[in-house]
Amino acid sequence: MTGGKSQKLVFLLLAAIVVLVARIWYVDLSAAPQAQGASGTAYAPHIVLGPGAASLGAPAAIASANPVGGGPSGTPSSTTPYYGEMDTTASVFQRVATTAVPEFMREELLVRDITNGVDLADVDQNVRWPTASLTKLMTATLVLDHFSMDTRITITPQMMAVDPEEGHLVVNGTYSVYDLLHVMLMPSSNVAAEAFADYYGRTQFLQEMNARAKAWGMRDTYFDDPSGLSSANESTAHDLAILATHVYQSYPTILQFTDTPDIVIANYANGVKTDVRSINDFAGTPGFIGGKTGFIPEAKDNLLSLFRYDGNPVLIIVLGAGDTAERFSDTTNLLDWVKMDYK
């Protein structure tokens, strides 16, 4: 065999070996099992992006790993929980210090400059959570759109049945919408909320609540009743901020009523007058614009508050506080942080 033929044969043998090895390697890889979750189904890698990552040029495949969409209560509609300050360059406030955001053991919190819609801080603002009586803010918007303040509504046994321990209204008592709205927003009467829905037509009222939420872009929100008693009433801090912004811009009467410390209401059926006091510690205090408290066992303590700071509104939402005192102290600490870091 000549030298040229020998070299050619060796080359062909080496090429054949390379092809064989490559095929074996490919088969092994394609047969290997994918990484699996507890259910045995394959999962994609969990990718956490900082705020604004998609807008900064993150690949579409990575951005899609952070889907938007609601899950059941307590589950995120975004896989990007973020604790701390946000990009606030577009805020009406100017950052003058870099103090750390107070940390609390809460399910969600949000601090927003609602003038420009800029978040100053948030924790898991896209996690669905029971709204409790924060629901009544949406209820109030429909009342203002569909009722006259001097309309009188008589409380029926069916209305009273939602909360037999009601302390301000009585069965067969007749009250003006003006007074009922105060009772719903100040001591957070569930009976007053139910009275509005029943008088209007409960099914239609709830349909309009949910239709309004959808129209306003509150896509992780659902209302199951007008009071918030049901834990099926769910939203997120992000969606509640949308609601608060609409209330601030278009329904200032709601904020005026929630800033009222006390009022006297009248039962037109018998002439009896009743003192009503707010359960919101901030009502009537300097700088407070308005807001709403909320509590059911499943939600723990919720609080949505609007404050006037340096001439501009600041929204603070705390969801899932441990008790009534903590929701107010958490909100106070967050407002103090804003005043320390922003001018």
Task: Give the domain CATH number at 228.
Answer: 3.40.710.10
> In the prediction, which pLDDT does 343 show?
85
Residue range 276-326, pLDDT digits in tens: 999 999 999 999 999 999 999 999 999 999 999 999 999 999 999 989 999
- Single out the residue of 232, 206, 230 nearest to residue 142, CA to CA: 206
Full-model pTM: 0.75
Query: Does a structural domain hold residue 282?
Result: yes
Q: Where are the alpha helices (DSSP H) in the chain?
A: 3-31, 60-63, 135-146, 157-160, 177-185, 190-200, 202-215, 237-250, 252-258, 324-341
Cα–Cα dist 217/235, whole Å: 12
- Cβ(298)–Cβ(238) under 8 Å? no
Catalytic residues: 133, 136, 188
Distance CA 286, CA 303 (A): 18
22 located within any domain = no
In a domain, 307, yes or no: yes
Residue 308's domain comprises: 129-341
- Checking if the pLDDT of 71 tops 90, the result is no
Specify if 209 maps to a domain. Answer: yes
Asked if residue 59 belongs to a domain, the reply is no
**Number of structural domains found in the chain:** 1
Closest among 275, 277, 276, 288 to 328, alpha carbons compared: 288
DSSP 169-190: --TT-EEEHHHHHHHHHSS--H
What per-residue confidence (pLDDT) applies to 105? 61
Indicate whether 28 belongs to any domain: no
Mean pLDDT of 205-211: 98
Q: Would residue 231 count as lying in a domain? A: yes
Asked if residue 264 belongs to a domain, the reply is yes
pLDDT band with cut points at 50, 70 and 90 for residue 90: low
